[in-house]
């Protein structure tokens, strides 16, 4: 039986709100861009600190702190989701389809999604690296950090990031584009493109090759998770896999070097 939160974000419920005038193009269209915009602003704030400290490369130095300032990106997105869902007489939690009776099962589904997700992620990274660099020499995204920021990057950042990103693109944007356009393949393609494109600005390096690599490499996985969401209409499994994979990547790049 469909849970209350799942029902509020179901295709039928969204179509009903559209018919009642509670759903407009503005919300989903805006949310396609805001994570990218917040990413540039947040990195700029960190760069300003480096400028004040006399750094000669403030923007590049700021980029290494993505696992810390990334939570500012999430905070901005959650604030907008709160405002937009209120217009639909919902809350951001309703976007998740959370059902406490299914929590254990959803976590297990999330664990089961990790192996295929890694195949799409590693396959996308490999294909994009060979396309852009001619080999597997694409630079890493995360960099070593001091101990306390590294702990934050491993313990806090991945959880907030995984939940917020899944809520933004899958929980909010995808089903509303699907309802507004009446064209599921188009909605999937748009969300996949914009979700992947945001990575070119996280962090923003002004390096054309790296930015192209960052744009292309997430496409297979972004497509995979949008299709999975349309099948299950719940965020917890996807957010669980997202959280654990990002946590592992952050650990390997930011904390593990300090433990060796």
162-194 pLDDT, tens digit per residue, is 999 999 999 999 999 999 999 999 999 999 999
Per the structure, the complete domain to which residue 177 belongs is given by: 4-259
With H, G, I as helix, E, B as strand and everything else as coil, classify residue 22. coil
| Cα distance between residue 117 and residue 43, in whole Å | 28
* Mean of pLDDT values over 108-121: 98
- The phi, psi pair for 203, rounded to 5°, reads -85, 160
Which pTM value belongs to this model? 0.94
Cβ neighbourhood burial of 250 (10 Å; 0-12, 13-18, 19+) = buried
Give percent of the chain above pLDDT 70.
98
pLDDT score, position 10: 87
| Cα distance between residue 57 and residue 91, in whole Å | 41
Q: What are the distances in angstroms from CA 155 to CA 14, 83, 115, 150?
A: 35, 28, 21, 9
Can you tell me which residue has the tokens 């195949």? 119
Q: How many domains does the chain have?
A: 1
With H, G, I as helix, E, B as strand and everything else as coil, classify residue 136. coil
């Amino acid at each position: 039986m469909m849970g209350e939160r799942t029902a509020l974000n179901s295709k039928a419920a969204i179509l009903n709100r559209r018919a009642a005038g509670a759903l407009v193009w503005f919300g989903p269209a805006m949310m396609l861009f805001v994570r990218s915009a917040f990413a540039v602003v947040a990195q700029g704030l960190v760069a300003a600190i480096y400028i004040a400290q006399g750094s000669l490369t403030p923007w590049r130095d700021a980029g290494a702190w993505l696992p810390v300032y990334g939570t500012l990106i999430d905070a901005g997105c959650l604030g907008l989701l709160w405002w937009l869902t209120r217009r639909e007489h919902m809350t951001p939690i309703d976007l998740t389809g959370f059902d406490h009776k299914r929590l254990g099962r959803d976590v297990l589904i999330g664990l089961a999604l990790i192996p295929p997700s890694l195949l799409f992620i590693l396959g996308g990274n490999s294909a994009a690296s060979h396309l852009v660099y001619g080999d597997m020499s694409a630079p890493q995204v995360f960099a070593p950090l001091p101990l306390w920021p590294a702990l934050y990057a491993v313990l806090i950042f991945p959880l907030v990031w995984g939940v917020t990103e899944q809520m933004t693109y899958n929980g909010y944007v995808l089903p509303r584009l699907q309802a507004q356009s009446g064209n599921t393949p188009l909605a999937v393609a748009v969300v996949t493109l914009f979700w992947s494109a945001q990575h070119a600005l996280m962090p923003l390096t002004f390096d054309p090759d790296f930015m192209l690599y960052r744009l292309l490499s997430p496409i297979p996985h972004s497509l995979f998770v949008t299709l999975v969401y349309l099948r299950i209409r719940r965020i917890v499994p996807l957010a669980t896999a997202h959280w654990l994979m990002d946590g592992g990547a952050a650990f390997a790049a930011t904390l593990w070097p300090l433990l060796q």
